[in-house]
Structure 1
Amino acid sequence: MPVSIPGIGLGTYSNTDKDQWKENVCTALEAGYRHVDTAEAYDNEQYVGAGIEAASVDRDDVFLATKVAHPDSPVPEREDVLSMVDSCLDRLRTDHVNLLYVHWPADPYDPETTLGAFQELYDDGKIEHVGISNFEPETLDTAHEVLDAPIVANQIECHPLLQQEDLREYARRHDHWIVAFCPLAQGEVFDHPEIQAVAEKHNASPAQVSLAWLLSKDNVAVIPKASSEAHMWDNLAAQDLDLDDEDIAKIDGIEREHRIIDREYARWRN
């Protein structure tokens, strides 16, 4: 693998109470998280940056990721991408991010323009690694053709109810990570009988089982959102939950396909 990504990160998306993320990020880092995920479109980077600054954890020990090129944030030219990332860095109170994602491969994303800017940012050291998000195999192939820098991660919705076998296999072949957002399907995994059965067997929570199942897969990291310290500790404990082959096979066998995030501009709709 071109980079080591901490297996459990903190997802920071929320529609309201953006300022909560200063305290949440600081609390998560003090609890042991070392991977924090945000985005320009989340409108909370200034609070995420303040939370990292407030924690007693050195910035060099934090794997910080953000995203640009969202369809709601038009970025038509290369210089606009460069300027937007500079603004992200200012808000995050850092001179670099460890991973920068293309948020969606939808207008205004243009491979040559957007990824050309990413390559320049990579060469200048403002981003350590290049990632993409919500990409399908065709758009991944194009990104590989355009970039000289390696693609280290594809951030996608992935959980026991949307297992994404094809994209996980693509990641294995091309030696990059899958970073799973919505890894608990916004709580819908909690009521699924296979998840409940494995949780009862191990005296664990359904959240821990779902996260442990994802972490058992090759090249997969997870970024569940957690807004309370109790949930943060519960998520971290998934790293110590050792699912056996029977448990993994039981969850692998779930046939339901349920997507939580399904935008009209998503490539899987085309």
Structure 2
Amino acid sequence: MKRLISKSLTIPRLGFGTFRMPGDGCQAVVESAIDVGYRHIDTAAMYDNEASVGRALVASGIARSELFVTTKVWHDQLEPTALLKSFDKSLLKLGLEYVDLYMVHWPSASMDMAALMKTLGSLRDSGRIRELGVCNFNMPMLRTAIDELGASVAAVQVEYHPFLDQTRLLTFLRERNIPLVAYAPLAQGRAATDPTLMQIGAKHDVSAAQVAIAWLLDQDGVIAIPKAQRAESQKANLEALAVKLDDEDRQAIASLAKDQRFVQPPFAPDWDAK
């Protein structure tokens, strides 16, 4: 498994997402993912599956030091006291002594950025999280947190796939040696049937979905966390690590419309803010 280094972390470049896998059923799916080779597991308080993920980690028999675990705090729990309580609940459900990466799941219009980053920093200093990160922050929020407040952000997670341009964000993060973690890397299943990706896949004898993942991992500083319930799909996503795209492939993908955002809840920030 290829890995990226950020702060104190060594992060597997292909992780396993668990969004929309609530309840006990998630345990067997995560056990399968670990069994086929995943070592980076992404969950969140909002997913309602941290306990199942925790049980799967134990059942795997894999040493804790070999597993990379991310969880997240929901946007209505960003006040310092609420955040600390939410973290305690997450850690208890996971059954872990620490998480590798603890992230703000979504920003809140009412959040106190300085207090938020200070609280996350206190969790890192206590050793209960190895590093902190943020998800779904727009550019002004990132500049405030990282450049103005000096927060030690180890990763930024956002929607990213062949149909959404993230050039501005990638440039910002690369200048600061911070990796981008791509969620919805298959555009919620749309990549699997895209004609351009299918044509490239046929050329390499792989699927369109594998092409989409390979395209993300072909880029410096990008990590992908696709989800897959079936073992066959989990294995196929892992096999995308071996797909080698050429310049012709990259040009074809670059020609795709890059303005399609599929995750847009009512509380999302202004993505176009400068």
Root-mean-square deviation (CA, aligned residues, Å) is 1.6
Q: Deviations over 1:73-107 (max 9, x none)?
A: x3263122112111111100101000011111114
Structure 1 gap ranges (5+)? none
Q: Which residue of 1 aligns with 2:245?
A: 243
Q: Which amino acid aligns with 2:55?
A: A
Relative to structure 1, the CA distance from residue 172 to residue 40 in structure 2 (aligned partners, 3 Å threshold; closer, same or farther) is same
Q: Deviations over 1:129-186 (max 9, x none)?
A: 1110001111001111465552111100000011311111111111101100000011
Structure 2 gap ranges (5+)? 1-5
Q: Which residue of 2 aligns with 1:159?
A: 161
In 2, distance between residues paired with 1:96 and 1:194?
A: 42
TM score, norm. by length of structure 1 = 0.94
Q: Which has the higher strand share?
A: 2
2:49 corresponds to 1:44: yes
1:211 positional shift: 0.1
Q: Which amino acid aligns with 1:220?
A: V
Q: 247-256 vs 223-232, which deviates more?
A: 247-256
Contact 1:45 1:91 in 2 (8 A): yes
1:110 positional shift: 2.4
Q: Which amino acid aligns with 2:61?
A: S
Q: Pick one of 18, 29, 32 that aligns with 1:12.
A: 18
| Percent identity (aligned) | 36
Q: Pick one of 28, 49, 69 that aligns with 1:64.
A: 69
Contact 2:179 2:221 in 1 (8 A): yes
1:56 positional shift: 2.1
Q: Which residue of 1 aligns with 2:118?
A: 116
How many matched pairs?
A: 266
Contact 1:181 1:222 in 2 (8 A): yes
Contact 1:23 1:51 in 2 (8 A): yes
SS at match of 2:270: helix
Structure 2 matches for 1:67-146, cutoff 5 A? 67-68=72-73, 70-71=74-75, 74-75=76-77, 77-107=79-109, 109-145=111-147
4+ residue runs over 4 A deviation? 145-149
Q: Deviations over 1:175-202 (max 9, x none)?
A: 1011000000111112222111110100
Q: 42-51 vs 183-192, which deviates more?
A: 183-192
TM score, norm. by length of structure 2 = 0.92
